[in-house]
Structure 1
Amino acid sequence: MPTGVAIRDVREQLFAAAERVLLRAGPNALTSRAVTTEAGCAKGVLHRHFADFDVFLAELVRDRIAGVEARGAALRGAAGTGTVVDNVAATLTDLFGPVALGVLGLITARDGLRAELRRTTPIGIPLLTEAGTVITAYLTAERDLGRLAADSDVDTLAFTLIGTGHLLFAGREATEETGDEAVRKVVASVVGGALREQ
């Protein structure tokens, strides 16, 4: 892009470009030059808006975390409707889409990014930790409604679902799908003992 031409929504354009590079070529290919080339702008544009590349990547991850939290509000609103298994299975499928898996690979691959993210997610793996919190809040709501046993350990259930879900989806190609029935089976196995008649 020529110098002096304003770019609208720079942050969103750069994030979208980073996601495309990440999905196409993986975490090791994600550089500031690759992002700005993909976005069709000068390399300096990224550095005018972010202190360094790890800060940019941390903001990308935080933006995706905000999306997880927004989906969590919708999930909590679904408490008492449908079935617990279907609600959680749909959420896991959504949470572990190709972009989220790419971001998790990125977090694992970059020490500087993890250090930057520790400011806002001091424990656990960013994105997975927040996803666990979302599932915990939903399961708590379902327990309060009597659809899960009153003594259900929702924290353990949630983090078991997140860990198992991650393993179920990880390593798949972006075009490869995990069958809905496989996800439902995992969810039913994890929460089955806590479910009350629905």
Structure 2
Amino acid sequence: MPTGVHIRDARQQLFDAAERVLLRDGAAALTSRAVTTEAGVAKGVLHRHFTDFDAFLAELVQDRVRRIGDHSAILRASAGTGTVTGNLTAALTELFDPVAVGIVGLVVFRDELRARLGRGIPVLADAAAMLAGYLTEERAQGRIAADADVDSLALVLIGAGHLLFADRAHRPAAGEVGRVVETVVADVVQRRLL
């Protein structure tokens, strides 16, 4: 791209390009050159908006975390509607879209990025908090047992969900995800509401 040409929303353009590279080629292929080439911009564009490539990647991860925050409010609002199993199945399926799974791999793959983020794997941690918040709402409404350990349930659901969706070549069907969710929550969900 010629210099001096205005790029509208360059940050989003770079994030979108990074997601395409991540989906197509995996975390190991995600480099500043790959991102700028995919975006069709000069390499300097990335460095004009971010101090370095790890700062760019940290913002990419934070962008995904913000999306989880948006979904969290929607999931909490669904408490008391539908079924607990159905709501959790839909949430996990939406949460573990191919980009989110790729971002988890990216954080695991890049030590510098993990150090910069400073708190484990944020996408998974925030997703667990989202599910725990939803389960807390369901517990308050009496749809799951009053003594249910919602934090532990959320961790188990995130771990199981990540394992189900980690294979980039095979996306599990809703029925597969639903069976796992039902098994995890079977002891705490009121039977008539499964």
Which TM-score applies when normalising by structure 1? Answer: 0.95
Q: Which residue of 2 aligns with 1:57?
A: 57
Q: CA deviation at 1:62?
A: 0.3
Counterparts of 1:84-95 in structure 2 under 5 Å? Answer: 84-95=84-95
User: Match of 2:122, SS?
Assistant: coil
Match of 1:187 in 2: 181
Match of 1:115 in 2: 115
1:137 aligns with 2:133: yes
Equivalents in 2 of 1:188, 1:153: separation in Å?
Answer: 16
The amino acid across from 2:185 in the alignment is V
1:57 CA drift (Å): 0.2
Q: CA deviation at 1:110?
A: 0.5
What residue ranges of structure 1 are gaps of 5+ in the alignment? none
1:126 aligned residue:
122
Alignment map for 1:32-71 (pairs within 5 Å): 32-71=32-71
Tell me the CA shift for residue 186 of structure 1: 0.5
Which consecutive aligned stretches of 4+ in structure 1 deviate over 3 angstroms post-superposition?
none
The equivalent position to 1:153 in structure 2, one of 146, 149, 152, is: 149
SS in 1 for 2:57: helix
How far apart, in 2, do the equivalents of 1:84 and 1:10 lie?
A: 40
Counterparts of 1:87 and 1:185, CA distance in 2? 13
Deviations 1:26-58 (A, max 9, x none): 111111011011111100000010010001000
Task: Work out the CA distance in 2 between the residues paired with 1:101 and 1:85.
Answer: 22
CA distance in 2, matches of 1:182, 1:34: 35
Question: For 1:107-128, what per-residue CA distance to the aligned partner results, in whole angstroms no more than 9, with x for missing partners?
Answer: 111011101111xxx2x32100
The one-letter code sitting in structure 2 at the alignment partner of 1:41 is V
Between the aligned partners of 2:17 and 2:71, the Cα distance in structure 1 is 23
The residue that corresponds to 1:82 in the other structure is: 82
Q: Using the TM superposition, give the Cα deviation of residue 179 of structure 1 relative to its aligned residue in structure 2, in angstroms.
A: 1.1
Alpha-carbon RMSD across the aligned residues, in angstroms, is 0.8
Count of aligned pairs: 192
For 1:177 and 1:161, the matched residues in 2 are separated by 17
How far apart are residue 8 of structure 1 and its match? Answer: 0.5
